[in-house]
Amino acid sequence: MADSDPYMQRTAQEIRALEDAYLFPTYSRYDAVISHGSGAYLYDLEGRRYLDFLAGIAVNSLGYAHPRLVRVLEQQGRRVMHCSNLFYHPYQGALAQRLAGISGMSRVFFTNSGTEAIEGALKIARAFGRQAQRPDKSVILSLKNAFHGRTFGALSITAQEKYQAPFRPLVPDVAWVEALTADALERAFSDRTCALVLEPIQGEGGIIPLPGEFLRAARQLCDEYDALLVMDEIQSGMGRTGRYFAYQHYGVQPDLVTVAKSLAAGYPLGAILGASRIASALKPGEHGTTFGGGPLACRLALEVLDVIEEEGLLDRVSKLGDYLTAGLGELASRHATIREVRGLGLMVGVEIGPAAPDIVAALRRRGILANAAHDTVLRLLPPFIITEEQIDEFLAALDAVLAEL
């Protein structure tokens, strides 16, 4: 891509060396140095093209350089990008109204990331317990194999030893539901429970849709014990499963929902959506953020919602999800390596055993991006604008990679 940007003149090797020298070594990155994207394709600095079945980990739902998002970026960049939450602006209330409409919730708090939405939800849960005039109603329940983020609150409800061990002591009054059964749920609840947090489809845990009876029991127990049902839809929400929220497939309504990732489809924005009965749990001054819900982020998210609606993308996601799953089912009938295909819409996991990271690397060599969740699951999160032909291209590449194994 011809470019006068001096940073784009550096070689891939120079760019990698700079990061190695100056960044905390927290990420193990793939080799590619990304230069730009267009539609469902990403390009690296060395001219390779990648068909994207990862979408920036469930973020870029409209692909890259979507003309309507580019137009909003240009216009709003000239108008005002940030003004702080000391002021009103035209887009935050409008976006909150749209999110309330699609979720069945009634109040919204905007954040900058998924983790931060979880942090806020945990504070609301504790504040809700306090409202019940029970100072000890502070226990938050979470599921084994969950992933909710990396800050202290979110990490404290992410029951994975490798993430938690180096950082103990964590936030107190967190307890685990030991299995995905109604019995295990019932054993975990007590009068001290103020909230149960769960992902309706566990993402990082390997694309695991929770059983319907488990979610229904969760709703019932939260009502019985006067606790909040918090659904983390950061990965599964905003249309990825063919409905705006995964819980809408189950017919179970939560009290709090967290979203982020594809909310502004490539620009950082998260949100906590809350039911009317908890609207007054947080008092003025008890929570806040400098950046969350700024004009640029909110206007982008409004445009994303318009595109999803005007272009019928929820139906498209459902149909393409069925197409992808059927193609994977056909591959499974010929390749014993594939043990299970699961998911909803364009949030699909292929249980493929310990070779998953090698398969991801082999796909990348063939110009296809995916990743491995839980080391044994091929995780597929393509943009909503992917086509059947591109899905065929992916399936043919996976077929060839599996044949080589």
Specify the DSSP element, H or E, that contains 384.
Answer: none
Element (H, E) at 177: strand 174-177
* Contact assessment for residue 114 and residue 198, using Cβ atoms and an 8 Å cutoff: no
Closer Cβ to ligand PLP, 220 or 376, answer by number: 376
Minimum distance from residue 132 beta carbon to ligand PLP (Å) = 26
- Cα 65 from Cα 78, distance rounded (Å): 18
Structure tokens at 108: 């919204």
**Straight-line distance from the first to the last Cα atom of the chain, in angstroms, rounded to the nearest whole number:** 35
CB of 146 to ligand PLP, least distance (A): 8
CB of 389 vs ligand PLP, minimal distance in Å: 29
Nearer to ligand PLP, 298 or 332 (CB): 298
Structure tokens at 364: 């990348």
Lookup: tokens for 60? 């870029």
What does the alpha-carbon distance between residue 350 and residue 158 come to, in Å, rounded to a whole number? Answer: 23
Q: Give the max Cα distance, the chain.
A: 64
Give the helix ranges, DSSP H, for 266-312: 295-310
User: Least separation, in Å, of the C-beta of 180 and ligand PLP?
Assistant: 16
Smallest separation, CB 207 to ligand PLP (Å): 11
For residue 341, how many other CB atoms are within 10 A of its CB? 21
Task: State the nearest-atom distance from the C-beta of 382 to ligand PLP, in Å.
Answer: 16
* Residue 152 vs 225, nearer CB to ligand PLP: 152
Q: Nearest approach, Cβ of 260 to ligand PLP (angstroms)?
A: 5
* Residue 140 backbone dihedrals phi, psi, to 5 degrees: -105, 125
The residue (of 76 and 235) whose beta carbon lies closer to ligand PLP is 235
Which candidate, 392, 61, 64, 125, places its Cα nearest to that of 258? 125
Instruction: Give Cα 106 to chain centroid, integer Å.
Output: 21
- Which of 236, 337 has the CB closer to ligand PLP? 236
Nearer to ligand PLP, 199 or 303 (CB): 199
Q: Which CB sits closer to ligand PLP, 163 or 323?
A: 163
Q: Which is nearer to ligand PLP, 105 or 332 (CB)?
A: 105
- Give the distance from CA 136 to its chain's centroid: 32
Q: Which position's Cβ is nearest ligand PLP?
A: 114
Residue type, 157: I
| 115 vs 337, beta carbon nearer ligand PLP | 115
Chain contacts with ligand PLP (rule: CB under 6 A): 113-115, 118, 147-149, 199, 203-204, 232, 234-235, 260
Q: How far is the CB of 350 from ligand PLP (least distance, A)?
A: 18
Least spacing, CB of residue 281 vs ligand PLP, in Å: 21
